[in-house]
Structure 1
Amino acid sequence: MRDGTPSSKGHGTPPGGDFGQELRRLRARAGLSQEALAHAAGVSVRALADMERGRTRGPQRRTVGALAEALGLDDGEAAGLEGAAALGRPRPRPAIGPAGPGPLALPRDIGDFTARGPALARLLDLARSTAGDRPVVSVVAGQPGLGKTAFAVHAAHRLAPHFPDGRFALDLHGMDPEPVTPRDALARLLGALGVPDATLPAGTDDRAGLWRSLAGERRLLLLLDNAADEAQVAPLLPGAGPSLTLVTSRNALAGLESVHRTDLALLRREEAVELLSRIIGPDRVRAEAQAARDLADLCGHLPLAVRIAGQRLLSRPHERLAKLVARLAAEGRRLDGLQAGSLGVRATFALSYRQLPPESRTLLRRAALAAGADFSPETGALLAGLSYDEAVARAEELTDAGLLQSDAAAERYRFHDLLRLYAAEQADAEDGPEVRDAALDRTADWMLRRATAAALHFDVDHERTGPEADPDPDTAPTGRDEARAWLEAERAQWLAALRRAHETGRHRQVLDAAEAMHWFSDLNQHWEQWVEIFQRSADAARALGSRREEAVHLNYLAWAYNLCVHDPRAALTSADAALTAARDCGDGLQEGWALGYGAGALSRLGRTAEAQERLRGAVRCLAAQESPQGRLAELTALNSLGTLLRQTGRAAEALDIHRRSERICLAGVPGRTEEVIALYHAVARQQIGNDLAALGRWQEAEAPLRQALDAFEAAQMPAWASQARLDLGQALGAVGHPEARETLVAARAALGALRSPLQAEADAALAALDQATADT
C-alpha cells in the first residue's frame, strides 16, 4: 500500500495483452460462431469482427462483461479479458500537450446572429495578419446591451480555422463585486494548455511569464469576456507569437497600448428588423412589417432589447406584433430608458421580467442577493421563500426565458452581470429593506446550521451528528463525501452567512459554526478563508465576553496564519493574544496551545531558540493538565518539540521525545476514541521515521513513514498525507528504492495542489534523486 489504496494484482492477461487474439481463442474454445457470440452478447457482428481483427483494441468495460458472460468465463478469465481490453484503451497524456476542447471551449454560437459585417471583416483581416511574434489584441467595448459578447463569440467561431492550436473563452466577471483576479485567470488559462495544478507558479507575475512563454509558441485565439479594467487584462495578453485576443468590456480599456478597437454601434433599423425576423421567423415579420419597424424603434435598436422582445414573441406564436408594440408604447418611461445608456438595459430586462409569474419574479430578484458567481436551488428557495422543487421549476423557467444561465454539469444557475444588477434593484424596489433583510437572515441562518452540521462529519473528536442537527434532515448530506461536496460547492454562501451572522450580532452562531469547522479546516488547509473565519469567531467570543473561547479561537487563528496563508508574524500576534486570554481566565490547556502555536511562528521566523523555549514551556504546562484534551495537546507539543530539535541537529534527543509521544498513544487516553488516538500515533510514527532518517537509519525509517501515510489517507487528511509522502519519498531515495521517484512525484503533485511551500522541498528532493541516478 503506497498511496492509501491496496495494491491490486491482476488475474492474468493473454500473452502480449492482445485482446482480439484472446477473444478469438475463447470463442473457438466455446465452439461459437461470430454470429452466435454477437447475438448472445448483444453486440453487432461487425463490432465483434472489428474486435477480433484488432481494429477495436479497447472496448468498453460493459461490452467486455457481456462477452465474458456469453462465453461462460469464470471470474479469473473475465478479469484477464478485461485487463487486455484496458491495455488498448486510450490513456490521458500527463504532459503538456496541444490545446484542445475543454473547460474554456468557446460558447455555442448564435444561429440568428445579425449584422456587424464590417466589424467582422476587420477582425478577419487581423486574423490573417497574425504572424511571427506580433500578437494581435482587439478590444470590443461599448454600452451595455450592444451584444459585445454575442459578437465576440460569433467572430471567434468565424475566425477559429485560422487558429488551430487552441480557441479559449474566459469570463472575467468584470461586473461582479469581486472580478476574477489575474492570478486565478492565469491558472485557468495555463490549465487549458495542459499545465497541471501542481506545477503552477504561486505568484501572478510568474504565472504570467509561464503563460506568455507557452502562448508564444502557439497560434491561439483567446476571448476575454467581461473585463473589469486594464490591470485585470494586461497580465493575460500573450507577449509574442501569432495569437489573436478579443477582449470585451463595458469600459473602454483606454490604458491598453497597441491594441485594435472594435467599437460596436446601435443597430440600424433594418438590421434590428432583420434580427427580429431571424428570431421569430420572416413570415410573422412580413405580415406586420410596420409593427416590426415600430418595435425595433421602441427597443432603441439595442440588440439585447430586440432579442428579448423577439424571445417574448417566440414563446407566444399566436400573439400579434402590434399587441406588443402597443404595450411598449403605454410605458413611456421604459422607452425613455431604452434610449438612455444603462437605463436601456434596465428597461429591456423589465420587458421580460414583468411577463413572469409572481413566483418567478420573486426568485429572479431574490436570487440576486446570493453570494458567489452562481447559486443553487437551495439558496434560491431560501431567499424567495419557495420549496426546493418550486425553486427548481422557476429557475428552469427563467433559464428558458434567457434570464438565467444553467450550469452544464451541476444544478446551479448564474446571472448575466447586468441582469443581476437589475434584479437586485427590483429587490430594493419591490421588497424593501425589511423583506430583503428577512430573506438574507433566513438564508444565513439555514446555511450556517447546515454548514455546522456538515462540518461536524469531520470532527473525529465529536460524537457523530445526527440528521436532526441539520435544518432539513431529509436533504442533509450523509457521510463525509456528501458533506465535503456541499461545503465546497456552497463555500461562498455559508461564508457570506457567517459574515452576516457576525455583522448582525449572532455571535453564538458564529462561534458554533467556526468550532464545528475546526477539524474540517485541516482537510482544506489551503483555503485562505480560514483566517477570516477564525478572526470573526475570535471577535464573536470577545463580544460575548468569553475569554476562554476567545483564547480557543485566537489559537485557531494562529494556526490559520501559520499554515493557510504562511504569515508567521500575524500568527505570532494571534498566539500571543491567545496566551494572554488563556492566562487571564486560568485555562492551562489553551495556554499550552498558545505557546505551541507561538513556537511554530517563531520557528518559521528563524527564531529557533525562542521557539524551543516556548515548546518546552508548552510541554510543562500541558503535562500538568489531567483532562483528555490536555493529553492530546501534550502529544502535539511533544511532537513539535522533537521536530524542532531534529531540525537543529539533535536527532537522537528528538527520537527520545517522539518515542515518549508514542508511548502515550499506545497507553491510550481515557475519553478519547481510538480514531483520534490513531491520528496522533500516526504523527508520532511520522516523526520517528524522520528522526531515524536524520540519524542515517534509512532502512528503519521506511516502516513508520508508511504507517503514518496510510493513517492520514484513511482519515482523508490530504495536507498531512502529502507531507508524509514527501518524507517517505526522501527516505526511499536515500536507499535507492525503486518506488522513490514515483513517491516524490506524487508528493510534489499533492503539495502543489495544496499550494504548500513544501513543494519546493519536493522539487529539490526530485532533483537530487535524478542527479544521483545520473551519477550512478
Structure 2
Amino acid sequence: MPEPTRTGPDPRRIRRQPELARELDLLRIRAAAGTRKAKVTVHDLAQLAGLPRSTLHSYLTGQTLVPSAVLDRIVIALGASKTEQREWSEAWYRLHTTDPAPVARTAALPFVPPARIRGFTGRANEFARLDGLAGEVSPRAGLVIAAVCGGPGTGKTALVTQWAHRCGERFPDGCLYLDLRGYDQDPAMPAADALATLVGMLAPDDAVPADIGVRAARYRSLLADRRMLVVLDNAVDSGHVRPLLPGTDSCMVVVTSRDRLGGLVARDGARRIEVGALPQPDALELLGTLFGAERVAAEPAAAVAIAESCAGLPLALRVAAERIQGRAGLSLMEAAVEIGDGPLDWLAAGGDARTDLRAVLCWSYHRLAASDPLAAMVFQQLGGAPAGSFTPVDAARAVGVPVVRARCLIDVLERAHLVEPLSPGRYRMHELLRAYATELAIDFDSRPVRGDAGTRTGIPSGSGHM
C-alpha cells in the first residue's frame, strides 16, 4: 500500500538542488507554526544552527550545496524527527550523486592553507588550546585571536597548518592563509599588499580597491557573517597584523610570530600559545618517524645526543634526519659526534635558505640588530657564557651598562625568543642559538676596532651568516 502524500516538507521528493531549497522552505514554514511568523527567518535559523547568515542564505536559496553535516544541523534546528532526519540525509546523498549540475558546490569556499607535513609529531597540548579557542567562536562574543609564538625552527607554521586541516568542519566558509614574511630572506609584506591578497582570495573576480582604507573596508565586508579561519603566518609584531583583523565575531584568527605579540594580547584580547622545543620523547619519536624507529631503538644514546644537539627543534631534527639518510653506512653515533662538533654547518640543508638553520636564526638576529643594537650585542657576547647561562649582572658587564638597563635588554631578547628563563634571575640560550651567538662574537671580535661607536653597535657584517 503506497504511503500517503505529505502536504508539508517531504525530503523523499528531492532529486535536484532547487527541490532541496523548496523542501527546506516548507520545513521552515512548518517550524514556524504557532508563531506569528510565516516561516522561521534566516536570522533566527542562523542562531539556532550556529551558522553565519550569509552562508545559510546561500544554502537555503540553492546557490551552494549544503554540506551533509551542516544539513543535519539545519533540519534538527527546524524540529525534524529522527525518521525525518534520516530521510533528509538520504536525500542529500541522492542529490550529491545524481544531480548533473549542482550549483556552486565548492567554488565559493576558499581553503588555502599549505599542505600538511608528513610525520608531524607531538603538540597535543597546543592542539587542545587551539581547539578550546575555536569552541569560543560565537556571535557577539568578541573576535577570537590565537597568538602562536615561539623561536625560530620550533614548527609554528607546521602546527597551525596541521590544525587548520583538522578543524575544517568548524569553519564551513573556509580558511584563508597568508605568509606575511616577517622573518624571511625577503622583505616583510606591507599591510596594503596583504589586504590586496586577502581580498583577492575572497573575491577573485572583483577589482581590488586602490585606496588602502577602502581595501580594508572591502576585506572586512567580505568576511562579515562568514564563519572562517584566518591564518596570518610569520608576522613581525602586533602592528603588522592589526590592519588585517576581521570586523566580525564569526571568524577566528590565528597569528604566528617569533615576537611574543604582547600588544595583540593586551589591546586586542589575543590568547598566547607558546611553542617551544619538542620534549625529548616527542623529538625521539619524530626521529623514528623520519629514519626508522628501529634505528632509534638500536642506538638510543646516540639518538638522544642528536636530539639534544638539535635543541629539540623540529626543523633541525628534520634536516639532521635528511642528512643521516643521505649518507649510507653512517651510524647514529657517528652522526651525533659530527653534529656536536659543528651543528650549524651540519644543519646547513644544502643551500635552501628557508631550511638552513644558520639562515633561519639570522633572520631573528638581524631584525633585532636593526631595532635594538645594544640588545643584539648582549646576545652575541653571552652566547659563550662559561656556565651556559647568565644573569643580568653578566649582561651588564659584557656590554658596559647598568644592571637595570641590562635587565631591559634581556627582556627584549626574551620577547624575541632568543633567550629563555632558566630560573629567577638566570637565563639561557639553547644549543643552536649559543652556537650562532658564538659565531657572531668571533666575527665581531675579529674585525678592526673603529672607535666607541663601532664597538657598541654589536652588528657584525653578517655576510657569512645569511
Q: Scaled by the length of structure 1, what TM-score is found? A: 0.31
Q: Which residue of 1 aligns with 2:129?
A: 122
Measure the CA separation in 2 of the matches of 1:299 and 1:417. 15
Summarize deviations over 1:475-534 as a string: whole Å, max 9, x none. xxxxxxxxxxxxxxxxxxxxxxxxxxxxxxxxxxxxxxxxxxxxxxxxxxxxxxxxxxxx
Going from structure 1 to structure 2, the CA distance change for 1:263 and 1:223 (only over 3 Å counts) comes to: same
Paired amino acid for 2:213:
D
Q: Cα–Cα, structure 1 residues 155 and 242, in superposed 2: closer, same or farther, change >3 Å? A: same
**Alignment correspondent of 1:300:** 311
Aligned to 1:178, which of 183, 187, 206? Answer: 187
Q: Which amino acid aligns with 1:144?
A: P
Tell me if 1:106 matches 2:80. no
Among candidates 205, 215, 223, match of residue 223 of structure 2:
215
Q: Partners of 1:261 and 1:282 in 2: how far apart?
A: 34
Partner of 2:346: 351
Superposition map of 1:606-645 within 5 A: none
| Aligned position for 1:238 | 246
Select the residue among 173, 189, 205 that pairs with 1:196: 205
Is 1:173–1:417's contact at 8 Å kept on the other side of the alignment? no
Contact 1:299–1:305, Cα closer than 8 Å, also in 2: yes
Q: 1:309 Cα shift?
A: 0.9
User: 1:107 Cα deviation (Å)?
Assistant: 0.7
Q: Which amino acid aligns with 1:351?
A: W
With over 3 angstroms needed to count, the CA separation of the structure-2 counterparts of 1:309 and 1:274, relative to structure 1, is: same
- State whether residues 154 and 275 of structure 2, in contact with CA within 8 Å, keep that contact through their aligned partners in structure 1: yes
CA distance in 1, matches of 2:217, 2:107: 18
What SS does the aligned partner of 2:272 have? Answer: strand
Aligned partner letter, 2:244: L
Q: 1:324 aligns with which of 335, 340, 345?
A: 335
CA distance in 1, matches of 2:216, 2:358: 28
Q: Name the structure 2 match of 1:616.
A: none
Partner-residue secondary structure (3-state), 1:224: strand
Aligned-residue offset at 1:223: 1.1
| Structure 1 residues 268 and 403: CA distance shift in structure 2, 3 A | closer
Answer yes or no: is the 8 Å Cα contact 2:113–2:176 preserved in 1: yes
Distance 1:250 1:213 in 2: 30
Whether contact under 8 Å (1:223, 1:246) holds in the other structure is yes
**Distance in 1 between residues matched to 2:335 and 2:236, nearest whole Å:** 36
Where do 1:445-594 residues align within 5 Å?
none
Q: Name the counterpart of 1:313.
A: 324
Residue in 1 that maps onto 2:170: 162
Could you tell me how far 1:317 is from its partner in structure 2? 5.2
SS state at 1:115 partner: coil
Question: What is the deviation of 1:175?
Answer: 2.4
Post-superposition Cα deviations, 1:544-584, rounded to whole Å, max 9, x if no partner, equal xxxxxxxxxxxxxxxxxxxxxxxxxxxxxxxxxxxxxxxxx
Shift, 1:253, TM fit: 1.7
Question: Where do 5+ consecutive residues of structure 2 fail to align?
Answer: 1-99, 367-466
Q: Gaps (5+ residues) in structure 1?
A: 1-88, 335-346, 357-363, 365-397, 405-414, 425-776
Q: CA deviation at 1:235?
A: 1.2
1:195 and 1:329 map into 2 onto residues whose CA distance is 50
Say if 2:148 and 2:256, in contact at 8 Å, map to a contact too.
yes
Where do 1:37-48 residues align within 5 Å?
Answer: none
The question of whether the paired residues in 1 share the 8 Å contact of 2:148 and 2:275 is answered with yes
Pick from 405, 414, 418 the counterpart of residue 360 of structure 2: 418
Q: Report deviation, 1:185.
A: 0.8
Secondary structure of the residue aligned to 2:277 is: coil
Cα deviation code 1:592-616 (max 9, x no counterpart): xxxxxxxxxxxxxxxxxxxxxxxxx
Is residue 264 from structure 1 mapped to residue 275 from structure 2 by the alignment?
Answer: yes
1:403–1:419 Cα contact (<8 Å) kept: no
One-letter code of the match for 1:418? V
Query: Structure 1 counterpart of 2:133, which letter?
Result: L
The one-letter code of the counterpart of 2:291 is I
Q: Is the CA contact 2:152–2:361 (under 8 Å) kept in the aligned structure 1? A: no
**What is the alpha-carbon distance in structure 2 between the residues aligned to residue 132 and residue 109 of structure 1?**
30
Q: Deviations over 1:380-416 (max 9, x none)?
A: xxxxxxxxxxxxxxxxxx59xx849xxxxxxxxxx99
Give 1:138's aligned residue. 146
**Letter matched to residue 292 of structure 1:** A
User: 2 CA distance for matches of 1:224 and 1:161?
Assistant: 20
Kept in 1, the 8 Å contact 2:338–2:346? The answer is no
1:712 counterpart residue number: none
CA contact (8 A) 2:144 2:249 kept: no
Hey, what's the Cα distance between the residues in 2 that align with 1:91 and 1:419?
50
Q: String of CA shifts for 1:588-642, please: whole Å, max 9, x gaps.
A: xxxxxxxxxxxxxxxxxxxxxxxxxxxxxxxxxxxxxxxxxxxxxxxxxxxxxxx
- Residues 139-165 of structure 1, C-alpha deviations (whole Å, 9 max, x = no match): 111211111111111111122221121
Aligned mates of 1:167, 1:417 — CA distance in 2: 30
Change (3 A) 1:326 1:195: closer
Change (3 A) 1:283 1:190: same
TM-superposed deviation, 1:310: 1.4
Deviation at 1:119, TM superposition (A): 1.0
Partner of 1:251: 259
| Residues 1:281 and 2:292 aligned together | yes
* C-alpha deviation, 1:229, in angstroms: 2.2
Aligned residue for 1:164, secondary structure, equals coil
Match of 1:766 in 2: none
Instruction: Report the CA distance shift for 1:148/1:321 in structure 2 as closer, same or farther (over 3 A).
Output: same
Equivalent residue of 2:253, what SS? strand
Question: What's the offset of the Cα at 1:246?
Answer: 1.0
Partners of 2:296 and 2:138 in 1: how far apart?
45
**One-letter identity of the residue aligned with 1:203:** D
2:437 alignment partner in structure 1: none
SS in 2 for 1:107: coil
Return the letter of the residue paired with 2:126: A
Aligned 8 A contact 1:215 1:241 in 2: no
1:150 pairs with 2:92? no
Whether the 8 Å CA contact 1:144–1:250 is kept in 2: the answer is yes
Instruction: Tell me which amino acid in the other structure corresponds to 1:266.
Output: A
For residues 107 and 220 of structure 2, the distance between their equivalents in structure 1, rounded to whole angstroms, comes to 16
Q: Deviations over 1:266-286 (max 9, x none)?
A: 221111111111111211111
**Matches of 1:148 and 1:403, distance apart in 2:** 14
Aligned mates of 2:160, 2:359 — CA distance in 1: 17
> Per chain length, whose mean CA-contact separation is higher, i.e. which structure has more relative contact order (CA < 8 Å, sep 6+)?
2
Letter of the structure 2 residue corresponding to residue 328 of structure 1: I
Q: CA deviation at 1:181?
A: 1.2
Q: 1:97–1:194: 8 Å Cα contact kept in structure 2?
A: no
TM-score, reference length from structure 2 = 0.51
Cα drift, residue 328 of structure 1: 2.1
Contact 1:137 1:247 in 2 (8 A): yes
Q: Secondary structure at the match of 1:150?
A: helix
CA distance 1:148–1:416, shift in 2 (3 Å): farther
Cα distance in 1 for residues equivalent to 2:270 and 2:125: 18
